[in-house]
Structure 1
Amino acid sequence: MAEAALPGTASAAPPAPRRLPSLAEALLSVLAVIATMIFLFPIYWALSQSLRDPIETFTVAGFGIPWIDFEPTLDNWRDQLAIPETRRALANSTVIATGASLLALLLGTPAAYALARFRFRLIPNRDLTVWFLSQRVLPPVATVVPFYLVMRTLGLLDTQLALVLLNATFILPFVVVIVRQTFLDLPRELEEAALVDGASFWGAFWRVALPLAMPSVAASGLIVFSFAWNDFILAITIASREAITVPMHMAGAVDTRGVQFWFMSVRAMIAMIPPVIVALLAQRYIVRGLTLGAVKG
Structure 2
Amino acid sequence: MPRPRRPLTASFADSIAFLAAVTVALVFVFPIYWAFSQSLRNPIDTFTVAGFGIPWVNFQPTLDNWIDQIGTPETFRALANSTIVSVSASLLALLLGTPAAYAIARFRFERWPNRDIAIWFLSQRVLPPVATVIPFYLVMRTLGLLDTRLALVLIDATFVLPFVVVILRQAFLDLPVELEEAALVDGASHWGAFWRIALPLAAPTMAATGLIIFAFSWNEFLFAVALASQNALTVPVHIAGAIDTRGVQFWFMGVRAMTAMIPPVVIALLAQRYIVRGLTLGAVKG
TM-score (norm 2): 0.97
Q: Deviations over 1:33-73 (max 9, x none)?
A: 11111211111011011001001101111111111111110
Equivalent position of 1:8 in the other structure: none
Task: Give 5+ residue unaligned stretches, structure 1.
Answer: 1-13
Question: Among 193, 198, 203, which residue is 2:187 paired with?
Answer: 198
Q: Distance in 2 between matches of 1:58 and 1:215?
A: 47
SS in 2 for 1:137: coil
Q: Distance in 1 between matches of 2:163 and 2:121?
A: 8
Quick check: 1:245 aligned with 2:238?
A: no
Equivalent position of 1:5 in the other structure: none
Equivalent position of 1:55 in the other structure: 44
Of the structure 1 ranges 18-27 and 135-144, higher mean CA displacement relative to structure 2 is found in 18-27
Percent identical residues: 74
Of the structure 1 ranges 86-95 and 63-72, higher mean CA displacement relative to structure 2 is found in 63-72
How many residues end up aligned between the 2 structures? Answer: 284
Q: Distance in 2 between matches of 1:198 and 1:107?
A: 26
1:113-132 counterparts in 2 under 5 A? 113-132=102-121
Q: Deviations over 1:51-106 (max 9, x none)?
A: 01001101111111111111110000011111111100000000000000000000
* 1:222 aligned partner, one-letter code: L
Q: Distance in 1 between matches of 2:114 and 2:45?
A: 60
Alpha carbon RMSD of aligned pairs, Å?
Answer: 1.2
1:1-297 counterparts in 2 under 5 A? 17=4, 19=6, 22-297=11-286
Task: Quote the offset at 1:286 in angstroms.
Answer: 1.3
Q: Distance in 1 between matches of 2:29 and 2:156?
A: 28
Larger radius of gyration, structure 1 or 2? 1
Q: Deviations over 1:197-237 (max 9, x none)?
A: 11100000000001001111110000000000000001011
Q: Distance in 1 between matches of 2:83 and 2:260?
A: 10
Task: Give 5+ residue unaligned stretches, structure 2.
Answer: none
* 1:86 aligned partner, one-letter code: T
Q: Distance in 1 between matches of 2:161 and 2:2?
A: 53
Q: Measured at CA, do residues 284 and 19 of structure 1 come closer, stay the same or move farther in structure 2, by a change above 3 Å? A: farther
Task: Quote the offset at 1:17 in angstroms.
Answer: 4.7
SS in 2 for 1:57: helix
Q: Measured at CA, do residues 15 and 188 of structure 1 come closer, stay the same or move farther in structure 2, by a change above 3 Å? A: farther
SS in 2 for 1:112: helix
SS in 1 for 2:47: coil
Task: Quote the offset at 1:184 in angstroms.
Answer: 0.3
* 1:61 aligned partner, one-letter code: A
TM-score (norm 1): 0.93
- Stretches of 4+ aligned residues off by more than 6 angstroms: none
Q: Distance in 1 between matches of 2:131 and 2:185?
A: 48
SS in 2 for 1:120: coil
Q: Distance in 2 between matches of 1:169 and 1:258?
A: 36
Q: Distance in 2 between matches of 1:123 and 1:226?
A: 32
SS in 1 for 2:60: coil
